[in-house]
Structure 1
Amino acid sequence: MLSPHVSRRSLIRRSGALTAIIALGLAGCGGADDEPAGQAGSEQGYVAGSGVITQLAVGERGEPIELAAEYTDGTSFDIADWRGAPVVLNLWYAACPPCRKEAPALQANYERYQDDGVRFLGINVRDQAPAAEAFADTFGLTFPSMLDQDGIGVAALSTVLPPQAVPSTVVLDAQGRPAARVVGAVDESTLKALIADVLDETA
């Protein structure tokens, strides 16, 4: 399981607007009405409120994440082929309010870091392809997603994320190892800083 760590270039120092608390687990995250985790949040299947951020030092990241599946259009992929640059994995589904809230932040960073080789993958934990594609059209998402009805995407991240942590975002380093996670909705400046930290390591 990930443990809290502030990278050598602090998130807070990189972005003065970032006031998120670096912590482990779901402390401070509740359901839609800010109820404790395990009550409304687990019943509705999403984590509301601000994202809880965890970073790992380079020497603490463990093994690379393995995941091979198909995009919503049926095209096959293997994230092992993406090593050499950071990868952003985002768990979501269409009826999840925090997922709708964070969608513009994900797209903005996808566009920001495309030229740096950063790859993004949405892992849709609940929907059929039409619902997933309608969500992408509504929010102008141009990065790909996979359908995870068989649970292989969630299983691949089971050592990184607690159960039912949707939305959640995991940033992998250039070797495919978990470098950071946000449990709950991620904002644009937070994700920008997390990706920038990993890019700095690669450089």
Structure 2
Amino acid sequence: MSAMTRPRPRVAAAAATVAAAALVLTGCSSSGSSSSGEGQVGFVTVKGTNLSKADAGKRGDAPDVSGETLEGNQVKLSDYRGKVVVLNVWGSWCGPCRAEAKNLQAVADEYKDKGVQFLGINTRDTDKTNAVRFEQEQGVSFPSIFDPAGTQLLKFPKGSLNPQSIPTTLVVDRDGKLAARAVGGTTQEALESIVQPVVAEQQQ
């Protein structure tokens, strides 16, 4: 009997290890691979980049992600309705996240007086201390929702401008609709190229 039951925990543990490794490998990526049926929802991938955008009038609603921030405050995306929101999905364990952090903060500083709010979703960090340390080391000042299990990411509908890897940065327009996406680590220039047009269209 014991010979029959012993392998099962080992098999389960091995399966869990493989699944966790797959999540990390597919999640933390600087590539821009995408298979979300972009044509169906009216958005296009910018040639030669990892950026996608949706024209006004063809944008889907962003889910009202919410939760407790790393600082212990409650926040939800709809709190910022009327502003352009840059939503960054990241983890302290992710190399591309570390590489892009200062770029995100630079754009946040540049656009903070132009009706733009940055909001992070910290995911797959089981220990909040690691995420807080990451923010301190990288000089990140905007709030981030602590979402270790990725439950907020599951709110994004498939076939939309949804997060497809970690990091992913989304631009939400003033009407709460998904306007643009950068998959993988982004540069300051690339991020501004999708933020600035959304800011400008609201000023026309």
* TM-score bin (small chain): 0.7 to 0.9
Could you say what the CA RMSD is over the residues aligned between the two structures, in angstroms?
Answer: 2.0
**Runs of 4 or more above 6 Å deviation:** none
Corresponding residue of 2:25 = 43
For structure 2, the 5+ residue unaligned runs are 1-20, 33-48
Pair 1:57-2:58 in alignment: no
1:169–1:181 CA contact under 8 A, matched in 2? yes
Distance 1:60 1:202, change over 3 A: same
TM-score normalized by the length of structure 2 = 0.74
Alignment of 1:141-156 (within 5 A): 141-156=140-155
Provide the aligned length of Structure 1 versus Structure 2.
164
Shift of 1:43: 2.8
Q: Write the distance in 1 (CA, Å) between the matches of 2:65 and 2:119.
A: 11
Greater helix fraction, Structure 1 or Structure 2: 2
- Could you tell me how far 1:53 is from its partner in structure 2? 0.6
1:93 aligned residue (58, 82, 91): 91
In structure 2, the CA distance between the partners of 1:149 and 1:41, relative to structure 1 (3 Å rule), is: closer
Larger Rg: 1 or 2?
2
Q: C-alpha deviations, 1:36-80, integer Å up to 9, x for none?
A: xxx988636311246611000111102242112111121011211
TM-score calculated relative to the size of structure 1: 0.74
- Percent identical among aligned pairs is 35
SS at structure 1 position matched to 2:134: helix
Q: 2:108 aligns with which of 107, 110, 113?
A: 110
> Would the alpha carbon gap of residues 173 and 44 (structure 1) be closer, same or farther in structure 2, given more than 3 Å must change?
closer
1:117 shift after superposition: 2.3
Whether the aligned pair in 2 keeps the contact of 1:85 and 1:202 (CA below 8 Å) is: no
My pick for the range that moved more, 70-79 or 168-177, is 70-79
Residue 132 of structure 2 aligns with which residue? 133
Task: State the partner residue of 2:202.
Answer: 202
**What's the counterpart of residue 37 of structure 2?**
none
Q: Which amino acid aligns with 2:30?
A: A
The amino acid of 1:65's aligned partner reads P
Alignment check: 8 A CA contact 1:126 1:147 kept: no
Task: Give the whole-Å Cα distance in 1 for the aligned partners of 2:136 and 2:111.
Answer: 21
Q: Secondary structure at the match of 1:58?
A: coil
